[in-house]
Amino acid sequence: MTVSPPAALALLSVAEMAGADAATIAAGTPGIVLMEKAGRAVADAVTRRIRPGHRVLVLCGPGNNGGDGFVAARLLAERGCHVTLALAGERAALDADAALAAERWTGAIETSGGVDPARHDVVIDALFGAGLSRPISGETAALIERVNAAGQTVIAVDVPSGVHGDTGLTEGPAVRADETVTFFRLKPGHLLHPGRALCGVLTLADIGIRPEVLFAPGGIAPSAFRNGPALWRSQLPDHATDVHKYGRGVMAIAAGGLSGVGAPRLGARAALRIGAGLATIICRPEALAAHAGRGPDALMQSAAADAAAFEAASTSRKLDAVLIGPALGLDAEACAWVEVALRQGWPCVFDADALTHIGARRPGFADLLSRRSGVAVLTPHEGEFKRLFGEAGGFAAARGKLQRARQAAKQTGAVVVLKGPDTVIAAPDGRGAINETGSSALATAGSGDVLGGVVAGLLAQKMPAFEAACAAVWLHGRAGEELGGGLIADDLPEALPPLLAQLYDDPAGKKKPAP
């Protein structure tokens, strides 16, 4: 089924946002009109925080960001604020709309080197925009350090100066904002760390760019999105009322020995809680009694003494998905199991120890991965990602997390879930999503095993791999938010059914059959 991209969740690169501006101007809206609306949105953000008579420092740069600052300064002065405007650079260097905005400002223009942010109630950062291509240095770097040290409220225009809109990365100093006012659509850098932490509250303002500029024939076609239900809800499993357990999806978890019983069971329980009909743990013979002794939980257990037995056990039944990696082990036998999984065609989630084996045996295992006939999902954290792909070429950290995940997905043919507080999900076709749900409470042993199980459970129910990974990451994060501090990984699968119930409620209040 073809699903239209959710335009409301689109994230625009710096170049795509420039294209949206240009298309709007070409359609008849003057650029100064867009700038006036942007400056008004910034002034409104300030007005929500202070009263007339308060002191506002507006720091303007030489580009369109500076033009937005000039508009905001003029409007705030008209509203009764005491406004000081300081320009980094020469006024003669302003051009086009920024120059026109500066002409409409009738107050004094200070030099940025001589202002003291600490003497103002609010600072507006309109120095540099999202496309800054070099580290900030010299007098402007010193100014940013003074802004951050002053401790006053800071409102950033578009992005905090020093943060790149495509990557969220910083080179040199960057403004630490309490609120960032941006326009039309967010950029990846608003959601990727460290930019995400530097932005403060994000305010998305409408400045008159029509949504139709996105996905129009021959127009801007964003491939990055904020992760949310609108991205994948239509692809959630929708089982008929007469479905049986085999119709709901059969999955297997490749487990290790006796020392690692907990992790695969967490993955299996998560898969069942997300709706899979049956889960089988295939483990070493010495661990079979330990798994069986923990109760059925709609689980089956099967022993495999070696890779050949694992292959026989996994091919003797119809499997809809496999999870391999949690507590699998790092010995040669575990490595052989990973090779079996790489050669088989069932949808597979490679996690934890499986990723270590693949990374240690490049390029051989990576080649097997790229040639798999079935879909694959990789779920590395940053350390595992470096072991898998290194830091050279397309995977250099300076390219940014979204770009690295996309390159990894393209190279391997797998959906890549690059985990962290700003988890990125990337598909081989170039689609990417950045997740916003989650909490620090998820930094607990076994949390990643649960995530792998949720992905596998959705794959077992025939959900497409990219959407399954996005849904799993979002639900996993929401479960962490709902449970809060003190959660342990065992709690996470039990938090999934209420979240699913919310997702399956339709606008009329009727519930679809939930998995």
Q: Is the peptide bond before 173 cis (omega within 30 degrees of 0)?
A: no
Q: What is the pLDDT of residue 438?
A: 97
Per-residue pLDDT for 1 more than 80? no
- Give the up-direction half-sphere exposure of residue 142: CA atoms within 13 A in the CB hemisphere: 8
Q: What is the pLDDT of residues 384-400, one digit of tens each?
A: 999 999 887 778 887 89
Distance CA 185, CA 12 (A): 6
Q: What is the pLDDT of residue 316?
A: 79
Q: What is the pLDDT of residues 64-118, one digit of tens each?
A: 999 999 999 999 999 999 999 999 988 988 989 999 999 999 999 999 988 999 9
Distance CA 250, CA 243 (A): 13
* C-alpha distance from residue 76 to each of 98, 154, 440 (Å): 18, 15, 39
Q: Is the peptide bond before 5 cis (omega within 30 degrees of 0)?
A: no
Per-residue pLDDT for 492 more than 70? yes
Distance CA 52, CA 65 (A): 24
| Residue 367 tokens, joined | 């080649």
- Band the pLDDT of 295: cuts 50, 70, 90: low
- Give me the mean pLDDT over the 237-255 stretch: 87
Distance CA 255, CA 383 (A): 22
Q: What is the pLDDT of residue 508?
A: 33
Average pLDDT for the chain: 93
**416, 429 Cβ separation under 8 angstroms:** no
Closest to 456 in 3D by CA, of 219, 230, 278: 278
* Residue, of 434 and 507, whose pLDDT is higher: 434
Distance CA 85, CA 374 (A): 60
Provide, rounded to the nearest whole percent, the portion of the chain with pLDDT above 90: 81
Q: What is the pLDDT of residues 304-355, one digit of tens each?
A: 999 999 999 888 778 999 999 999 999 999 999 999 999 999 999 999 999 9
| Residue 276 tokens, joined | 């899979």
Q: What is the pLDDT of residue 336?
A: 97
Give φ, ψ of 52 to 5 degrees: -55, 145
- Band the pLDDT of 289: cuts 50, 70, 90: confident
Q: What is the pLDDT of residue 298?
A: 52
Q: What is the pLDDT of residue 417?
A: 98
